[in-house]
Every structure is written in structure tokens, then in C-alpha cells.
Structure 1
Amino acid sequence: MKEFVVYTLMRIALFLASLVVVFAAWFAIAGKAPVTGVVIVGFIVSGIASYFLLNRQRAAFAVRVEERAHRATARFDEMKAREDADEQR
């Protein structure tokens, strides 16, 4: 759960930082900044940046999810084996 929270908070922070940078650049160049355009460009910029900057956090989150899925599968298989053993009695 910790990995999910860390990754999500870092994505949100990166998105907000991208919004600020895009807004400032757009306003400096054009003198005005449409909110929709800033949000779309900020979303794209933060997505691309997160691919490179948050790779370690994403990998840690993926490992955690894989471990949890493996444990769930093992528990399911164990319960299924016990059920099969009970039926054979």
C-alpha cells in the first residue's frame, strides 16, 4: 500500500508542477493561458516526465502488486486443494 501512496502522490505533485510550468510558459509567450489547453498540455508533459522520473517508484509498486497476486493465487490453490481433498473422503 505504501508504494501505491508514494507513487500516486508523486504523480499528483508532478502534474501540479507541470501545470504551473506550462501555465507560466504559455502566459509569458501569449499573454493569456486558456485553462483547457494548460490542463491538456500539463497532463501530457507530466505523463511523459513520469515515465522517466518515476520509473523506480512504478517498479516498486509493480513488484508489490505481483507479490500480492502471487499470495492470492497460492491461497486460492491451497483452498481448492483442501476442497478437492474433502470431496474425495
Structure 2
Amino acid sequence: MKEFIVYTLLRIALFLGALGITVGVWGLVSNNGVPMIWAVVIAFVVSGLASLFLLNRQRERFARVVQTRAEKATQKFEEISAREDDKDSP
């Protein structure tokens, strides 16, 4: 599951970058300080939208790995089921 770890770490890095930029820009514009809850919400939305475009390759790779594993598990389940059916038939 290397692809999962890579994708997750990139998503976290993208979120932290968006949070840093949001807090930095908001801090420069506002004299009252930065309400962190809104900075986190904005960073979450921005990083989510950015990941759709920037992390497409990693997401596709991860999806292929999951699909391959699911196909293997389904095939193995069908083989076991077929063997059990053969044992049950007289």
C-alpha cells in the first residue's frame, strides 16, 4: 500500500501548505488576528480542490492498486466458493 501512503502524505502536505498560505495572507490583511477555525476550513477547501488537479496521477495509481487487489480477492473468493460447491455435490 505504498501508493496509499504517498497519496496521503501528499494530501497532508498540500493541506499544510494551504493552511500556511491562508494564515499568512490573512495575517497580512487583517490587524485583528486570524480565526484558526476559518483558516482551517478555507485551507481544507482549497487543498481539496487543488488535490483534484495536482494529485490526479497519484490518485489514479492508488485506484489501480485497489482495483487489482479487489479483483484478486474476488477471484479467490469465487475459487473457494466453486470448491465448496464441488464438495457439496453428490
Specify the TM-score bucket, using the shorter chain as the normaliser.
over 0.9
Are positions 1:11 and 2:17 aligned together?
no
Instruction: Structure 1: state its 5+ residue gaps.
Output: none
Alignment length (residue pairs): 89
Paired residue type of 1:33: V
- After TM superposition, the score normalised by the length of structure 2 is 0.96
How far has the Cα of 1:70 moved from its partner? 0.2
The equivalences for 1:34-73 within 5 A come to: 34-73=35-74
Aligned to 1:23: 23
Deviation sequence 1:39-72 (CA, Å, 0-9, x none): 0000001000101000000000000000000000
Aligned to 1:84: 85
How far has the Cα of 1:12 moved from its partner? 0.3
The percent identity for this pair of structures is 49
Paired residue type of 1:15: F
Instruction: Structure 2: state its 5+ residue gaps.
Output: none
Could you list the runs of 4 or more consecutive aligned residues of structure 1 that deviate by over 2 angstroms after TM superposition? none
